[in-house]
């Protein structure tokens, strides 16, 4: 049945390639706000769903792209395991395929890895309608180029993801969150210092003048670390971290005309005021900036991110015309075009989603 | 023999001592850690600067001369095997640690820096570089990136790809690119991951930013003996099922245990069919709690004895046997062939009993060391190259093990890379469409196929020669793809 679905998609993509008709890949639509708008015939991945293989003691799960993220997480939770990159859902209905294609990770990312770190294998349909398998279902595998990670975060521009194998990890036995009132630059300095010590950190978030630090691990270790760090206990911390992960936190409510920028920078980059409000995650390495569109100057944000080893993305509220993703260096852009050519020369798949032409 | 024009142009951009062409000078480069394969290069260049690397690549690109980048030459898959018509580009002079940022926990290093030297330099800040391939005292970080090297701690701390932030690399046409960044992700495609493990086929790396981790406050290792290999394998699954990700989880069979015990006297139980090493690291409280749980699980899994290291000296002693496994086996056999494949752990009993049966069939002894936590198997096939036919038998034995790795859902290389060694088995693991996709990626970076040609990805023609072609739907669908 499922094979028939994939075969059908392959045939459709071949047909679209022959007609040079673009295809817009969609899953749950939870990240429709992200990236440039794609025009084309819709290919809905949700009909290809379900867990293919899950062996908890192997720490590997394989599931079809249309599998709802929530279902996958429930299956892992039943075995006291989790997707350690703490994937953002953003809205109900988020799928595994969309999660991997978007390449976005949640609060646990600096400590347990990003989605790209946990992807072990992938199956994709390229722009010729060929169904290809890369990587595998084992933890260590260096056979062939790492196409699984190349596809992760490529937003469907190099292939339609049909199936993914991911490393999963045990859920921590205990978790607690400590809160500290402090100025922003102090918060950034502190989290960087703490990250240099063997502490069981699993998330940090600075918002509204307060720094929240999550500790995860064996109960005695979490308790000892909490005593060492001090601060106040946060009640109902799970709800807080979920709200940060999914952008349900008040901070992410945009007023009319407001945009949200995502600045991924070196963790020690100084706190800088951009005429907007900020939420700082990932031990200082991720800065969300919300503000009125004209006041938040794109050039200034991009220059800041670049000068601190990173990049800036107009995450929400763009006008759909200006660039969303950080411009690439010319030589790197050339490689991107060559890779697009290698996988999807007719430029059928999600054309223009990332950069002009792909 | 290098074309005289190319020789002159190389001599014009390099100091005299950095260009070697005399046979006695190029001979040391004829092989890497996989000595079964040897080839004398036309020339060896040892640039001092990135500008010289750019010049060399531009010249070779123009003259269409193959270039094989080389680090410390410790590859076990022939990744640095020279090309007879080509230039070996040694990064040996790129051995400076450029900076360490203790607050951001990163180090910027040149590719020729030894793996262990990074941790030694970072120790002053209470930090270290996590991946620790067994050759870490000798292997270079550039080679580690090219091969996506692993080590005994990768179940918990990841492979090289998980521990590199940024690369500076030179493309075959001399263009410099920076991939990744100082942030935790970068714009566009994940080219950092694509270059990592690309075995020198896509670019020459000139600078690497690695992530450093805080040194664990404490580490302890349990040494457990089992009277049955299968029980030991089940114990590994039980540890993980208990929600523990050990810092290291290694298994050795009896031939391996006996070889190392004779060599390092680590006090390993010689009567055990299998020995497990299970390490816990972290803060003191975490290690104490985890070690209690590990002991409980190992006991329930039928361990006949369990000893937990009492101090750092004993921990290192327990590890010394595992870390010395290769040289120890080298002592009991004139030659050995180290196989590297990964399997889903549940297939372990089947794979080990097949290896045992083949060992009898080929009349070659085999010692097994196993990164049990992540399913990475290293059978060491013992042979004597001076005995007519034994080398060929060892290779045939190894290929059969790798074939079985594929059959049970694993891979032909977990951490050593494909190099020249596994071209044949790559034809079995991947279909022609996937191999063609790899070749198109190669073409996207290096259209003329000059960087490390003939490695890592077999051409479809090569697979046909091997008689190992896996053809979809009974026909070769893309005869038009480029072949190098």
Tell me what percent of the residues of chain A surpass a pLDDT of 90. 94
Same structural domain, A36 and A149: yes
Same structural domain, A160 and A20: yes
β-pair partners for A204 = A213
Residues of A within 8 A of B155 (CB-CB) are 139
Does residue A338 lie in a domain region?
no
Report the C-alpha gap between B235 and B124 in whole angstroms. 38
Report the C-alpha gap between B269 and B257 in whole angstroms. 8
Considering A154, A170, A186, which residue would you say is the last residue of a domain? Answer: A170
Mean pLDDT over B147-169 rounds to 95
Hey, what domains does chain B have and what are their CATH numbers?
4-90 (3.30.43.10), 97-214 (3.30.465.10), 218-325 (3.30.70.2190), 333-407 (3.30.70.2740), 423-474 (no CATH)
- ∠ Cα A217 A221 A227 (to 5°): 120
- Which pLDDT belongs to residue B152? 86
Interface test with A, best of B153, B282, B286, B475 (most A CBs within 10 A): B286
Same structural domain, A303 and A272: yes
Whether the pLDDT of residue A45 is over 50: the answer is: yes
Per-residue pLDDT of B365-416, as tens digits, reads: 999 999 998 899 999 999 998 999 999 999 999 999 999 999 999 999 999 9
Does residue A9 lie in a domain region?
yes
DSSP B222-291: EEEEES-HHHHHHHHHHHHHTT---SEEEEEEHHHHHHHHHHH-----TT-SEEEEEEEEESHHHHHHHH
* SS3 (DSSP) at A260: strand
Return the axis-axis angle of helices B229-241 and B284-300, rounded to nearest 10°. Answer: 140
Q: In B82-217, at which residue ranges do the beta strands (DSSP E only) sit?
A: 87-90, 97-101, 106-109, 127-128, 164-170, 176-180, 204-211, 213-214
Same structural domain, A192 and A299: no
Whether the pLDDT of residue B423 is over 50: the answer is: yes
Report the C-alpha gap between B42 and B63 in whole angstroms. 14
Asked if A107 contacts A113 with a C-beta cutoff of 8 angstroms, the reply is no
Considering A144, A170, A196, which residue would you say is the last residue of a domain? Answer: A170
Banded pLDDT at A1 (limits 50, 70, 90): low
DSSP state of B147: H
- Which pLDDT belongs to residue A270? 98
Same structural domain, A149 and A233: no
CATH of the domain at A180: 3.30.70
DSSP state of A282: G
Report the C-alpha gap between A280 and B373 in whole angstroms. 35
- B52: number of CA atoms within 13 Å, CB side? 19
Same structural domain, A270 and A162: no
Same structural domain, A178 and A162: no
How far A252 CA sits from the closest chain B CA (Å)? 21
Report the C-alpha gap between B367 and B380 in whole angstroms. 5
Report the C-alpha gap between B363 and B381 in whole angstroms. 10
The pLDDT mean for chain B works out to 93
CATH of the domain at A60: 3.30.465.10
Does residue A327 lie in a domain region?
no
Q: Which domain holds residue A280?
A: 254-316
Whether the pLDDT of residue A346 is over 90: the answer is: yes
Does residue A41 lie in a domain region?
yes
Cα distances from B339 to residues A226, B336, B383, in angstroms, run 46, 10, 13
Does residue A352 lie in a domain region?
no
- Which pLDDT belongs to residue B481? 34
Per-residue pLDDT of A205-224, as tens digits, reads: 999 999 999 999 999 999 99
Q: What ipTM describes this predicted complex?
A: 0.97
How far B362 CA sits from the closest chain A CA (Å)? 27
Report the C-alpha gap between A143 and A152 in whole angstroms. 18
Asked if B138 contacts B114 with a C-beta cutoff of 8 angstroms, the reply is yes
Same structural domain, A156 and A178: no
Q: For chain A, positions 12-31, list CB contacts with chain B under 8 A.
A: none
Does residue A23 lie in a domain region?
yes
- B156: number of CA atoms within 13 Å, CB side? 20
Asked if A240 contacts A147 with a C-beta cutoff of 8 angstroms, the reply is no
Banded pLDDT at B36 (limits 50, 70, 90): confident
Banded pLDDT at B299 (limits 50, 70, 90): very high
Report the C-alpha gap between B166 and B148 in whole angstroms. 14
How far B238 CA sits from the closest chain A CA (Å)? 7
| Torsion angle (degrees, nearest 10) of CA B10, B15, B19, B25 | 170
Same structural domain, A139 and A160: yes
Per-residue pLDDT of A271-310, as tens digits, reads: 999 999 999 999 999 999 999 988 889 999 999 999 999 9
Report the C-alpha gap between A220 and A235 in whole angstroms. 19
Considering A170, A205, A221, which residue would you say is the last residue of a domain? Answer: A170
Same structural domain, A19 and A140: yes
Tell me what percent of the residues of chain B surpass a pLDDT of 90. 83
Whether the pLDDT of residue A333 is over 80: the answer is: yes
- Alpha helix (H) residue ranges in B158-205: 191-195
Does residue A284 lie in a domain region?
yes
Q: For chain A, positions 168-207, list CB contacts with chain B under 8 A.
A: 169-171, 173, 192-193, 195-200
User: Of the ranges A167-176, A224-233, B460-469, which one carries the lowest mean pLDDT score?
Assistant: B460-469
Same structural domain, A182 and A258: no
In 10 A of CB B465, how many CB atoms?
13
Does residue A220 lie in a domain region?
yes
Banded pLDDT at B472 (limits 50, 70, 90): very low
Domain count of the fold of chain A: 3
Interface test with B, best of A143, A153, A156 (most B CBs within 10 A): A143
Residues of A within 8 A of B417 (CB-CB) are 142
Same structural domain, A14 and A155: yes
């Amino acid at each position: 049945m499922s094979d028939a679905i994939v075969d059908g998609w392959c045939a459709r993509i071949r047909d679209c390639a022959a007609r040079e008709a673009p295809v817009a890949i969609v899953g749950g639509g939870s990240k429709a706000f992200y990236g440039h708008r794609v025009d084309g015939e819709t290919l809905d991945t949700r009909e290809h769903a379900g867990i293919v293989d899950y062996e908890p003691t192997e720490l590997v799960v394989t599931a079809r792209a249309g599998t709802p993220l929530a279902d996958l997480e429930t299956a892992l939770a039943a075995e006291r395991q989790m997707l350690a990159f703490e994937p953002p859902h953003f809205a109900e209905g988020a799928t595994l395929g969309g999660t991997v294609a978007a390449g976005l990770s949640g609060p646990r990312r600096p400590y347990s890895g990003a989605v790209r770190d946990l992807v072990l294998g992938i199956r994709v349909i390229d722009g010729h309608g060929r169904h290809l398998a890369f990587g595998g279902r084992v933890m260590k595998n260096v056979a062939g180029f790492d196409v699984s990670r190349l596809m992760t975060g490529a937003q469907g521009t190099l292939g339609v993801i049909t199936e993914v194998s991911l490393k999963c990890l045990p859920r921590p036995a205990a978790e607690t969150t400590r809160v500290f009132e402090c100025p922003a630059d102090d918060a950034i300095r502190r989290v960087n210092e703490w990250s240099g010590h063997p502490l069981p950190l699993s998330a940090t978030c600075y918002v509204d003048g307060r720094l929240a630090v999550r500790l995860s691990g064996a109960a005695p270790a979490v308790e000892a670390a909490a005593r060492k760090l001090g601060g106040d206990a946060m009640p109902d911390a799970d709800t807080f971290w979920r709200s940060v992960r999914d952008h349900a936190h008040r901070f992410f409510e945009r007023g009319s005309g407001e945009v949200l920028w995502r600045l991924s920078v070196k963790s020690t980059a100084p706190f800088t005021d951009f005429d907007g409000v900020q939420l700082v995650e990932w031990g200082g390495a991720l800065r969300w900036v919300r503000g009125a569109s004209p006041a938040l100057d794109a050039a200034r944000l991009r220059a800041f991110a670049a000068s601190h080893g990173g990049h800036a993305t107009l995450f929400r509220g763009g006008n759909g015309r200006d660039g969303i993703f950080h411009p690439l260096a010319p030589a790197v852009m050339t490689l991107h075009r060559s890779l697009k050519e290698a996988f999807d020369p007719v430029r059928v798949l999600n054309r223009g989603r990332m950069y002009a032409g792909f | 023999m290098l074309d005289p024009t190319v020789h002159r142009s190389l001599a014009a951009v390099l100091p005299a001592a950095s260009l070697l062409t005399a046979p006695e000078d190029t001979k040391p480069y004829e092989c890497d850690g996989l000595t079964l394969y040897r080839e004398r290069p036309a020339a060896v260049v040892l640039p001092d600067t990135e500008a010289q690397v750019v010049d060399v690549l531009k010249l070779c690109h123009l003259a269409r001369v193959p270039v094989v980048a080389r680090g410390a030459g410790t590859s076990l898959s022939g990744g640095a095997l020279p090309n007879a018509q080509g230039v070996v580009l040694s990064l040996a002079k790129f051995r400076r640690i450029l900076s360490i940022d203790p607050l951001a926990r990163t180090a910027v290093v040149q590719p020729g820096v030894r793996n262990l030297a990074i941790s030694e330099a970072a120790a002053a800040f209470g930090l270290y570089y996590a991946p620790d391939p067994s050759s870490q005292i000798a292997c270079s970080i550039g080679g580690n990136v090219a091969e996506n090297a692993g080590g005994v701690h990768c179940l918990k701390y990841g492979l090289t790809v998980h521990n590199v932030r940024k690369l500076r690399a030179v493309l075959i046409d001399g263009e410099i690119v920076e991939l990744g960044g100082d942030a935790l992700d970068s714009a566009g495609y994940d080219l950092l991951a694509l270059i990592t493990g690309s075995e020198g086929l896509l670019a020459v790396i000139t600078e690497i930013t690695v992530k450093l981790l805080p040194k664990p406050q404490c580490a302890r290792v349990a040494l457990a003996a089992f009277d049955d290999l299968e029980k030991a394998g089940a114990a590994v699954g039980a540890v993980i099922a208990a929600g523990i990700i050990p810092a290291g989880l290694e298994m050795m069979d009896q031939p391996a245990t006996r070889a190392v015990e004779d060599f390092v006297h680590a006090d390993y139980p010689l009567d055990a069919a299998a020995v497990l090493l299970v390490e816990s690291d972290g803060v003191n409280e975490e290690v104490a709690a985890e070690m209690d749980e590990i002991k409980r699980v190992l006991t329930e899994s039928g361990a006949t004895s369990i000893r937990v290291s009492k101090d750092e000296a004993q921990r290192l002693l327990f590890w010394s046997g595992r870390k010395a496994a290769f040289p120890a086996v080298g002592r009991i056999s004139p030659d050995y062939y180290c196989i590297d494949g990964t399997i889903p752990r549940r297939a372990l009993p089947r794979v080990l009993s097949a290896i045992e049966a083949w060992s009898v069939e080929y009349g070659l002894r085999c010692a097994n060391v196993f990164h049990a936590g992540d399913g990475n198997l290293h059978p060491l096939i013992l042979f004597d190259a001076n005995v007519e036919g034994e080398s060929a038998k060892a290779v045939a034995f190894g290929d059969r093990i790798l074939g079985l790795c594929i059959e049970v859902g694993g891979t032909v290389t977990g951490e050593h890379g494909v190099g020249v060694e596994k071209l044949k088995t790559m034809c079995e693991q991947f279909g022609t469409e996937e191999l063609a996709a790899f070749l198109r990626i190669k073409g996207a970076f290096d259209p003329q196929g000059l960087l490390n040609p003939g490695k890592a990805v077999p051409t479809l023609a090569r697979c046909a020669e091997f008689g190992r072609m896996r053809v979809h739907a009974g026909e070769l669908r893309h005869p038009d793809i480029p072949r190098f």
